């Protein structure tokens, strides 16, 4: 009896071990039914049957197991759903295919593997790849895979997946969207590689091209921002005689979880998992404006996102259908002013900072240089343009176009150069126009200098000089083409009830802001600069010319301006909830704000600042980022405002120096307040201050503590080193389950306000920190760690057993708040 018990126990143990070892595989003699699942060895992914959303149909799919369990990344029978739970997965006896069988109808899906195997095994890997292979234990190579789900994608591109064509086998890995959120069948949108001409990726809607990714230029796809500077993931593009494909892989798999998805509406997005909020957040989108719609401006048209209207013809071209063009129907494109005549003297006009056009009717040679490329195009009368294919190491590789150029848009920062064939007459005409315009500008400039010099000699009183300069400057603004509507003064006066005090929304050093209602019912905010405003003409013009060209959901929209009668009036969209400081610094109002809403505001500000620093047409430094300059719309979405102090950079500029320091103490970085040195890192410092203020509900410079005389940043730094950050968080807005996220926000804030600008992260890194669960580095000492009494601060540090020699750096003494 005792022996039988031992034998039974051993049998049960062996069975248990066998089942646990095989949790990631399906073997030929095993059954796998609806209700069963297999899990990858590391527990990252799970394979089983599921019903999407409210649907009752059953599908065989793969989904994340450790995070976001409802996120399905691959579906086997997406077009042939099971109507019940009778599904059965098996490796067929011949070892040829992996099959999904319906008891009533037979095989409804198969891997269609053509290679026979002796010991076939289906295995789910930790990459999310379902593979069919020989069952020998020492396999470790992709060559062992006889079939894999990565070669038959759905709507997701996971790290390590190839997206492209195997030129040897003809396998084309095309992604296709779900039909809807509850229907995984093949939807209207597909994303695939077109190898005709120079390879490029298209998103198609049914049979029509929807959008097109820029060409691979050696290190990224043209036109898309370089998001890999943070070292989180790496792009790879393989282009040879055997295969053409793109893939990305995470450099550190523990730092972030990312995936591309093609949504049912046709958007291609790179998503990152936010572990605190338990949601997927958009890290990068391939379609960020209407300029990304394929061929929006027709042939030889160029789409400019910051222009109104969006489309214009390339130089030397005019709209083919003038009336349709005026009505914003640009599909007819543009035609040449002067036709090309083969054999006549012709040249090439250079366009810089563009997304290169559709290359399906192109030819390329990766061994040629730019000069050889031009010679080849010049010799062929059918060649319409040429460009360098690979921008690395000074540029190499040649692309020649042999058709009309279509789908061009401007990218000032991330764009490339193209040389378009033009008649010599047009080239000469353009050069003459350029010389003429330059000459006129020089004459106007010299004339203006002369007039100003004369006025300076004539004017005796400083106030009279100021009024004359204002008159000249305002007239100039009226005459300039700022692509911004000019409102007449009377319409603004009517909208604000003659600037009634009952309509005032707020007031600052610049003057009052009024609420107004236009005759069509649109609500507006009217900023009227007073005569003694702290913001002068330069700030007024700077804000008009700067913000008018910016478009982002987290930036306030400037609708127009008014300069009649010497006025300096700016007209903005009306934002119902006013500014952020009225919420976070008012104890009564703050009670209405929960942490998730504040966190969404933080994310929105970060994305707006990232756009200014990296994704806008020009790199823009705000220089006065603070809570009162963050406005909130009806849904509490944040919008950065007040660009009077902003500075724009072009090309490779990244920093500058000024003798006129502007901004707000408490938000200014040390290098800017002391030396006038400003860069994107100056705005990062201000953003860090804002993070600490939002999490604590206290102002940096008005902060006081009974035990020391540090500002809020100094107190946060001490609390961090002592492990007491939780005491800093405002308990009114914080539930216990949000502690970790709020502590993380303060740590990110401390990283942003580090003394040395080189130590501070850029905004792309900040956005990733806020939207992922990546490990945060330890911050160093903040700038302006001590603003107040040195003796009191030194005594406090001594009492807390902190080293003043290692931890305290005296930078400057600012005025007391």
Confidence of residue 251 (pLDDT cuts 50, 70, 90): confident
Confidence of residue 442 (pLDDT cuts 50, 70, 90): confident
User: Does 755 have pLDDT greater than 90?
Assistant: yes
Which among 225, 618, 616 is positioned nearest to 414, based on CA atoms?
225
The answer to whether 231 touches 245, Cβ cutoff 8 Å, is no
Q: What is the largest CA-CA distance in the chain?
A: 122
Dist CA 31 CA 16 (whole Å): 17
Dist CA 747 CA 749 (whole Å): 5
Tokens of 125: 């890997």
User: Does 580 have pLDDT greater than 80?
Assistant: yes
pLDDT for residue 14: 41
For the chain, percent of residues with pLDDT exceeding 70: 83
With 0-12 / 13-18 / 19 or more C-beta atoms within 10 angstroms meaning exposed / middle / buried, residue 736 is exposed
Backbone angles phi, psi at 757, to 5 degrees: -55, -30
Tokens of 403: 């058709």
Dist CA 532 CA 205 (whole Å): 57
Three-state secondary-structure class, residue 769: helix
With 0-12 / 13-18 / 19 or more C-beta atoms within 10 angstroms meaning exposed / middle / buried, residue 636 is middle
User: Does 391 have pLDDT greater than 50?
Assistant: yes
User: Does 302 have pLDDT greater than 70?
Assistant: yes
Query: Integer distance in angstroms from the first to the last C-alpha of the chain?
Result: 88
The answer to whether 689 touches 666, Cβ cutoff 8 Å, is yes
Write down the residue that tokens 């903005």 correspond to: 572
CA angle 158/162/166 to nearest 5° reads 160
- Alpha-carbon distances, residue 449 vs 439, 455, 456, 467 (angstroms): 15, 10, 11, 17
Q: Write out the catalytic residue numbers.
A: 624
The answer to whether 177 touches 189, Cβ cutoff 8 Å, is yes
Greater confidence, 773 or 716? 716
For residues 429-447, give the mean pLDDT.
72
Dist CA 589 CA 721 (whole Å): 31
Confidence of residue 792 (pLDDT cuts 50, 70, 90): very low
User: Does 477 have pLDDT greater than 70?
Assistant: no
**pLDDT for 626-679, tens place per residue?**
999 999 998 899 999 888 788 887 656 667 777 677 778 889 999 888 888 889
User: Does 346 have pLDDT greater than 70?
Assistant: yes
User: Does 268 have pLDDT greater than 60?
Assistant: yes
Greater confidence, 814 or 663? 663
Write down the residue that tokens 């007239």 correspond to: 475
Please state which of the ranges 270-279, 444-453, 605-614 shows the lowest mean pLDDT.
444-453
The answer to whether 522 touches 487, Cβ cutoff 8 Å, is no
For residues 777-781, give the mean pLDDT.
93
The answer to whether 312 touches 301, Cβ cutoff 8 Å, is yes
CA angle 163/166/171 to nearest 5° reads 85
pLDDT for residue 485: 81
Dist CA 745 CA 688 (whole Å): 9
Letter string b/e over residues 372-399, b meaning 16 or more CB atoms within 10 A of that residue's CB: ebbebbeeeeebbbbbbbbbeeebbbbb
> Residue 579: CB partners within 8 Å, gap ≥ 6?
506, 627, 628, 629, 630, 631, 632
What structural domains does the chain harbor?
Answer: 23-152 (2.90.10.10), 164-288 (no CATH), 291-430 (no CATH), 468-573 (3.30.200.20), 581-807 (1.10.510.10)
pLDDT for residue 30: 83
Which among 761, 749, 482 is positioned nearest to 614, based on CA atoms?
761
Write down the residue that tokens 């007039």 correspond to: 451
**pLDDT for 182-208, tens place per residue?**
999 999 999 999 999 999 999 999 989
Which among 696, 732, 731 is positioned nearest to 714, based on CA atoms?
696
Mean of the per-residue pLDDT values of the chain: 83
Which among 193, 197, 617 is positioned nearest to 385, based on CA atoms?
197
User: Does 139 have pLDDT greater than 60?
Assistant: no
The answer to whether 153 touches 74, Cβ cutoff 8 Å, is yes
Confidence of residue 234 (pLDDT cuts 50, 70, 90): confident
CA torsion angle for 408, 413, 419, 424 (degrees, to 10)? Answer: 100
The answer to whether 404 touches 384, Cβ cutoff 8 Å, is yes
Q: How does strand 200-205 pair with strand 130-134?
A: unpaired
For the chain, percent of residues with pLDDT exceeding 90: 46
Which among 560, 535, 567 is positioned nearest to 643, based on CA atoms?
535
Dist CA 604 CA 620 (whole Å): 17
pLDDT for residue 567: 82
Beta bridge partners of 50: 59
Greater confidence, 382 or 483? 382
Greater confidence, 555 or 287? 555
The answer to whether 496 touches 567, Cβ cutoff 8 Å, is no
pLDDT for residue 431: 62
The DSSP H or E segment spanning 596 is helix 595-610
Q: Can you give the three-state secondary structure of 668-680, one letter per residue?
A: CCHHHHHHCEEEH
Which among 535, 568, 544 is positioned nearest to 485, based on CA atoms?
544
pLDDT for residue 592: 79
Dist CA 112 CA 767 (whole Å): 43
> Residue 347: CB partners within 8 Å, gap ≥ 6?
421, 422, 424, 427
- Eight-state DSSP code of residue 374: H
Dist CA 93 CA 116 (whole Å): 10
Q: How many helices (H) and strands (E) does the chain have?
A: 17, 44
- Alpha-carbon distances, residue 506 vs 94, 239, 511, 578, 649 (angstroms): 79, 59, 9, 9, 31
**614: number of CA atoms within 13 Å, CB side?**
21
User: Does 617 have pLDDT greater than 80?
Assistant: no
pLDDT for residue 231: 67
The answer to whether 631 touches 578, Cβ cutoff 8 Å, is yes
Three-state secondary-structure class, residue 766: helix
pLDDT for residue 529: 82
pLDDT for residue 767: 93
pLDDT for residue 49: 96
Confidence of residue 594 (pLDDT cuts 50, 70, 90): confident
User: Does 22 have pLDDT greater than 50?
Assistant: no
The answer to whether 280 touches 273, Cβ cutoff 8 Å, is yes
The answer to whether 579 touches 627, Cβ cutoff 8 Å, is yes
pLDDT for residue 93: 63
CB atoms within 10 A of CB 710: 25
Please state which of the ranges 160-169, 219-228, 571-580 shows the lowest mean pLDDT.
219-228
Tokens of 422: 């033009």
Three-state secondary-structure class, residue 565: helix
Dist CA 241 CA 131 (whole Å): 26
Three-state secondary-structure class, residue 385: strand
pLDDT for residue 382: 93
The answer to whether 554 touches 611, Cβ cutoff 8 Å, is yes
Q: How does strand 408-410 pair with strand 301-303?
A: parallel
The answer to whether 713 touches 784, Cβ cutoff 8 Å, is yes
The answer to whether 631 touches 777, Cβ cutoff 8 Å, is no
User: Does 340 have pLDDT greater than 70?
Assistant: yes
> Residue 148: CB partners within 8 Å, gap ≥ 6?
129, 130, 131, 132, 142
Confidence of residue 108 (pLDDT cuts 50, 70, 90): very high
Q: What Rg value do the Cα atoms of the chain yield, rounded?
A: 32
pLDDT for residue 15: 41
Tokens of 498: 């003659």
For residues 500-519, give the mean pLDDT.
85
Dist CA 190 CA 266 (whole Å): 8
Question: Alpha helix (H) ranges present in 393-552?
Answer: 424-458, 462-479, 489-495, 537-547
The answer to whether 52 touches 181, Cβ cutoff 8 Å, is yes
For residues 362-378, give the mean pLDDT.
95
Tokens of 195: 């190898």
User: Does 374 have pLDDT greater than 60?
Assistant: yes
Dist CA 53 CA 729 (whole Å): 38
Confidence of residue 129 (pLDDT cuts 50, 70, 90): very high
User: Does 5 have pLDDT greater than 50?
Assistant: no
**pLDDT for 678-713, tens place per residue?**
899 999 999 999 999 999 989 988 888 777 778 899
């Amino acid at each position: 009896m005792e022996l039988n018990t031992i034998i039974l126990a051993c049998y049960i143990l062996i069975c248990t071990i066998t089942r646990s070892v095989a949790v990631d595989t399906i073997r030929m003699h095993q059954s796998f039914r609806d209700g069963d699942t297999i899990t990858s060895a590391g527990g990252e992914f799970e394979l089983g049957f599921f019903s999407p959303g409210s649907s009752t149909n059953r599908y065989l799919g793969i989904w994340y197991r450790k995070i976001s369990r409802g996120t399905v990344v691959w579906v086997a029978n997406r077009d042939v759903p099971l109507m019940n739970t009778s599904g059965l997965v098996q490796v067929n006896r011949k070892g040829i295919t992996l099959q999904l069988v319906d008891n009533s109808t037979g095989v409804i899906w198969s891997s269609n593997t053509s290679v026979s195997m002796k010991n076939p095994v289906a295995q789910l890997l930790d990459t999310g790849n379902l593979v069919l292979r020989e069952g020998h234990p020492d396999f470790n190579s992709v060559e062992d895979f006889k079939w894999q789900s990565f070669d038959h994608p759905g709507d997701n591109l996971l790290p390590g997946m190839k997206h492209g064509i195997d030129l040897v086998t003809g396998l084309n890995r095309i992604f296709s969207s779900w039909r809807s959120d509850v229907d995984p069948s093949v939807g209207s949108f597909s994303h695939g590689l077109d190898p005709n001409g120079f390879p490029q990726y298209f998103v198609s809607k049914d049979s029509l091209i929807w959008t097109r990714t820029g060409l691979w230029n050696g290190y990224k796809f043209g036109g898309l921002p370089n998001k890999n500077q943070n070292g989180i993931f790496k792009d790879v593009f393989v282009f040879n005689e055997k295969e053409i494909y793109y893939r990305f892989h995470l450099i550190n798999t523990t730092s972030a979880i990312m995936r591309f998805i093609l949504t049912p509406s046709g958007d291609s997005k790179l998503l990152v998992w936010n572990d605190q909020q338990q949601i997927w957040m958009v890290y990068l989108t391939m379609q960020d404006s209407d300029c990304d719609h394929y061929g929006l401006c027709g042939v030889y048209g160029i789409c400019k996102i910051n222009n109104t209207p969006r489309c214009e013809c390339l130089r030397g071209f005019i709209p083919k259908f003038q009336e349709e063009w005026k009505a914003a129907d640009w599909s007819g494109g543009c035609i040449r002013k002067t036709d090309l005549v083969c054999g006549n003297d012709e040249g090439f006009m250079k366009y810089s900072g563009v997304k290169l056009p559709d290359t399906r009717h192109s030819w390329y040679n990766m061994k040629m240089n730019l000069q050889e490329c031009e010679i080849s195009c010049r010799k062929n009368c059918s060649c319409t343009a040429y460009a360098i294919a690979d921008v690395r190491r000074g540029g190499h590789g040649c692309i020649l176009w042999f058709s009309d150029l279509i789908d061009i848009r401007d990218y000032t920062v991330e764009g490339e150069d193209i040389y378009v064939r033009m008649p010599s007459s047009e080239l000469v005409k353009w050069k003459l126009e350029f010389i003429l315009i330059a000459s006129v500008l020089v004459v106007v400039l010299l004339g203006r200098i002369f007039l100003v010099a004369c006025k300076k000699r004539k004017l005796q009183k400083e106030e009279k000089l100021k009024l004359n300069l204002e008159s000249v400057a305002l007239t100039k603004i009226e005459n300039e083409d700022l692509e911004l509507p000019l409102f007449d003064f009377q319409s603004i006066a009517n909208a604000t009830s003659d600037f009634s005090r009952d309509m005032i929304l707020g007031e600052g050093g610049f003057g009052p802001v009024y609420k107004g209602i236009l005759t069509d019912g649109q609500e507006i905010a009217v900023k009227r600069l007073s005569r003694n405003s702290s913001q002068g003409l330069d700030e007024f013009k700077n804000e008009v010319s700067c913000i008018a060209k910016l478009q982002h959901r987290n930036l306030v929209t400037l609708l127009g301006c008014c300069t009649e009668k010497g006025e300096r009036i700016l007209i903005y969209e009306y934002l119902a909830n006013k500014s952020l400081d009225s919420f976070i610094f008012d104890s009564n109002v703050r009670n209405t704000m929960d942490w998730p809403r504040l966190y969404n505001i933080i994310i929105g500000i970060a994305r707006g600042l990232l756009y200014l620093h990296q994704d806008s047409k020009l790199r823009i430094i705000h220089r006065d980022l603070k809570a009162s300059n963050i406005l909130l719309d009806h849904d509490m979405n944040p919008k950065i405002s007040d660009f009077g102090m902003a500075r724009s950079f072009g090309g490779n500029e990244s920093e500058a120096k000024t003798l006129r320091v502007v901004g707000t103490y408490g938000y200014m970085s040390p290098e800017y307040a002391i030396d006038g040195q400003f860069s994107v890192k100056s705005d990062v410092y201000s953003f860090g201050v804002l993070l600490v203020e939002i999490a604590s509900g206290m102002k940096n410079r008005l902060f006081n503590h009974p035990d020391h005389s540090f500002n809020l940043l100094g107190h946060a730094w001490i609390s961090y080193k002592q492990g007491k950050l939780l005491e800093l968080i405002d308990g009114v807005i914080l539930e216990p389950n949000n502690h970790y996220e709020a502590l993380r926000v303060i740590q990110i804030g401390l990283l942003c306000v580090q003394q040395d600008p080189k130590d501070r992260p850029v905004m792309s890194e900040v956005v990733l920190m806020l939207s992922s669960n990546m490990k945060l580095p330890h911050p160093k000492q903040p700038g302006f760690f001590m603003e107040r009494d040195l003796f009191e601060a030194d005594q406090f540090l001594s009492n807390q057993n902190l080293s003043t020699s290692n931890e305290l750096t005296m930078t400057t003494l600012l005025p007391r708040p």
